[in-house]
């Protein structure tokens, strides 16, 4: 199973995330991402989200399941229509 999840790459008390496509069995911090499709910076006001829409739609069409947080980010960006 393939998941779209957040991968934390920021320092302590300074979170910064990459939106990655990875195997569901992999840990969040492992570098074995299949594809990097965006970034999320929650410390900016408002939070900065950059997503490659074509890559995200491609992975969703191929059956990748986003986590709850990533699904919210996709919905706010207009990628995931519910």
Q: Print the domain residue range for 35.
A: 2-77
CA angle 6, 2, 65 (to 5 degrees): 70
For residue 80, what pLDDT band results from cuts at 50, 70 and 90? confident
Q: How many domains does the chain have?
A: 1
Does a structural domain hold residue 82? Answer: no
CATH of the domain at 70: 3.30.1320.10
pLDDT value of position 63: 92
Model pLDDT for residues 10-35, shown as the tens digit of each residue: 899 999 999 999 988 766 666 678 89
49-52 contact pairs (CB < 8 A, 24+) = 49/73, 49/76, 49/77, 51/19, 51/77, 51/79
State the first-to-last Cα distance of the chain, in angstroms, to the nearest integer.
Answer: 22
């Amino acid at each position: 199973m393939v998941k779209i999840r957040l991968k934390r790459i920021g320092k302590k008390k300074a979170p910064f995330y990459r939106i990655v496509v990875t195997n569901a069995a992999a840990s969040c911090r492992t570098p074995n991402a299949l594809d990097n499709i965006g970034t999320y910076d929650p410390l900016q006001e408002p939070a900065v989200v950059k997503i490659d829409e074509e890559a995200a739609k491609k992975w969703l069409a191929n059956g990748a399941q986003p986590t709850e947080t990533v699904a919210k980010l996709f919905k706010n960006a207009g990628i995931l229509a519910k």
